[in-house]
Amino acid sequence: MEVDIKDSKKIDFSNLVDLINFDTFYGRGGSFLITPLHQSKVFSKEMFSEDQKMFANAALEYAETRLKPVKDEFKTLNKDLTLELFKEIGEMGFLGVDMPEEYGGSDLDKTTAALVVDYLAFSECGSLLVTLGAHSGIGTLPIVWYGTKEQKEKYLPKIASGEWMSSYALTEPNAGSDAMNGETTAYLNDEKTHYILNGQKIYITNGSWANVCITFAKVDGKMTGFILDKECEGWVIGAEEKKMGIKGSSTTTMFYENCKVPVENMLGTIGEGGHIAFNVLYAGRWKLGFSSAAGCMSSMNGAYKFALERKQFSRSITKFDMIKRKFANMVIKAWESDTLNYATTGSIDHSIEKLDKTDHDYYVKVQKIIEDHAIEASICKVLGSDALAYCVDESVQIFGGAGFIEEYSAAGVYRDERINRIFEGTNEINRLLVAGTFLKKAILEEIPIRDVIFKREENMIPDVNQSGHELEIEMSVIEYCRSLTLKTLDNLINIYGQDLKNKQWVLEPLADVVISLSVMHNGFCRYNQLESGGHKEKTLTVLKVSISEHYNKMIKNVKEINCHIMSKMNLEDDNKNNDFCMSNDSSILALNYCVNTIALKKEICDEFYKNGKYYLNV
């Protein structure tokens, strides 16, 4: 593409894309969509600092020696034990990892805060993890980010120490995913000393145990945040819900019956509530990804121990190939989730560490960085919770009839898992966020998506120094998938324009295309950064299967989209229509990409059996 300008010189716009320094996009949300492999890097747990290793070891030791022995006591509501452990965890510093030091926290990075969740999750105390997550995430960060100095001084030290438990109340009977449609109201009393809240909040984690609650109400129709505490007259707690799972956690309805909230307890400003409510959910999403990945590992480990003892046809069921396939799939899904989790927090930390903590707008900038990673946060949540659903379901299958009996662990874990695909935004909402944010970043040109689309129109597999690399073909496949992802978005924008955000039939498979690209891209980068040795060799087999399976998933999803929009593409003839629907491209066909995934999964299961547990942690 060339254009004439006044001095008769010509600009080749395709060459301008070559001037983009993709290295500078590390730390930007969505950078995996455009950054070629040879200019990419990711953070992974193999890169832990000494402080991070110390926190990980401490959390794991506490999980295995203190929490795991009492996990069965959380099969029912157990307030006394929960509060006892909650205070212990606070005393160990785990509740305030990324809270400011001046208010009792450690002021560490997002990765360290998340890895505490990761390693505590090996306790297999799902209910307790839910309690801790609601407290230290959505129940605390709004005060850290938006609170006044006085609010922080009053609440954060007690929240960090475990003296007070916090909660977060947003959902209403008629406002779940559509949170901005909430009907709870607030008005300023005549004395101008209190806001009077009236309304109802449902499914509130920590509801009956919390001393503090972050909640939302409309002031003159504008969503606004408030901090409630036990001094707020009219804050009424309903009965405990009888739940399918996480029975050891508190979940209640809250009623605001002319609830008197001091004016100094308004969080942020009038009308800022929506911003507060949604921004804090991003951190909850990636933390849920961390606990889900750990849950995958625990589930497969438990299933393996049981399978060793379960005999059919005079031998352990671990000898049967269908069981081996299940364990191999579990390893792969756990590794993928783990990879995406740390890649996300590492990218966020990379940008946050450049900020000046003395800057008055420090937390405003922190929030913008986190919001910029909306795609990654949602992928962590969706990928992790879907992986855990698979691992837990297959664990029940491996347990057989025992998996259906409450005496065994699989049944409780199966019930506990189900909530993960619902809270922190349903997986459907998060898929809409992935696709919608992808669209927004392209239209607003937050990252040069359009430029890269233009550059790759004629060459779907650019040179990324793959020649001679041990994964030369896989690198080409990933770059093809990057081009295909961008091309699919471009086609959809050309057909629907900004109305694409309302086309859920195509947004859902588009989101899954993005998720698959993210897994392939970050998985390769993690592997490519590893030092040579046994760990890298063991990772290679997992990576190869992961790339193959996500490539196939992506092709399937793109075919579905293309078959739907083909009639609107105005292609020249039936052959081109067929090629478009089948996603046939000469560049990818020429690679003859074919992976013996059965042989690789045999290797993965053999390694899993040799170790007797998930083996890719460091």
pTM of the model: 0.95
Query: Lowest-confidence range among 340-344, 410-414, 588-592?
Result: 588-592
Fold of 428-611: Butyryl-CoA Dehydrogenase, subunit A; domain 3 (1.20.140)
**pLDDT confidence of residue 13:** 52
Mean pLDDT computed over 349-361: 96
Q: For a pLDDT cut of 90, what percent of the chain falls above it?
A: 89
For 498-519, the pLDDT digits (tens) are 899 999 999 999 999 999 999 9
pLDDT band at 15 (very low <50, low <70, confident <90, very high): low
Check if the beta carbon of residue 437 is closer than 8 Å to that of residue 30: yes
**pLDDT above 90: residue 7:** no
User: What pLDDT score does 16 carry?
Assistant: 63
Distance separating alpha carbons of residues 511 and 499, to the nearest angstrom: 16
Dump pLDDT digits (tens) for 315-348.
Answer: 999 999 999 999 999 999 999 999 999 999 999 9
Q: How does 61-77 read in b/e, with b if 16+ C-beta sit within 10 Å?
A: ebbeeebeeebeebeeb
Domain ranges of the chain: 45-165, 167-270, 274-426, 428-611
What's the average model confidence in pLDDT over 10-14?
53
pLDDT band at 177 (very low <50, low <70, confident <90, very high): confident
Would you give the DSSP letter of residue 517?
Answer: H
CATH number of 274-426: 1.20.140.10
β-partners of residue 186 are 197, 219
> Where does the pLDDT of residue 14 fall: very low under 50, low under 70, confident under 90, or very high at 90 and above?
low
User: Which residue, among 254, 252, 253, 248, has the nearest Cα to 80 in the 3D structure?
Assistant: 248
Homologous superfamily in CATH for domain 45-165: Acyl-CoA dehydrogenase/oxidase, N-terminal domain (1.10.540.10)
Distance CA 211, CA 250 (A): 13
How far lies 222's CA from each of 139, 185, 256, in Å?
21, 9, 18
Which pLDDT score is estimated for 581? 78
| C-beta atoms surrounding 450 within 10 Å | 17
**pLDDT at residue 387 greater than cutoff 50:** yes
Per CATH, 274-426 and 428-611 having the same topology is answered yes
In CATH terms, the fold of domain 167-270 is Butyryl-CoA Dehydrogenase, subunit A; domain 2 (2.40.110)
Q: Tell me, what DSSP letter sits at residue 531?
A: P
| Percent of all residues in the chain with a pLDDT value above 70, rounded to a whole number | 97
Find the helix or strand (DSSP H, E) in which 587 lies: helix 586-589
pLDDT, position 1: 38
Q: Could you give the residue numbers annotated as active site?
A: 424
How would you classify the pairing of strands 185-188 and 212-219? parallel
Stretch among 343-347, 362-366, 570-574 having the lowest mean pLDDT: 570-574
Q: How far apart are CA 90 and CA 360, in angstroms?
A: 28
Output the six-digit token pair for 233. Answer: 């007259």
Digit-coded pLDDT (tens) for 42-89: 999 999 999 999 999 999 999 999 999 999 999 999 999 999 999 999
> What pLDDT was estimated at residue 12?
56
Task: Name the pLDDT band for 5 (thresholds 50, 70, 90).
Answer: very low
Over residues 152-163, the mean pLDDT reads 97
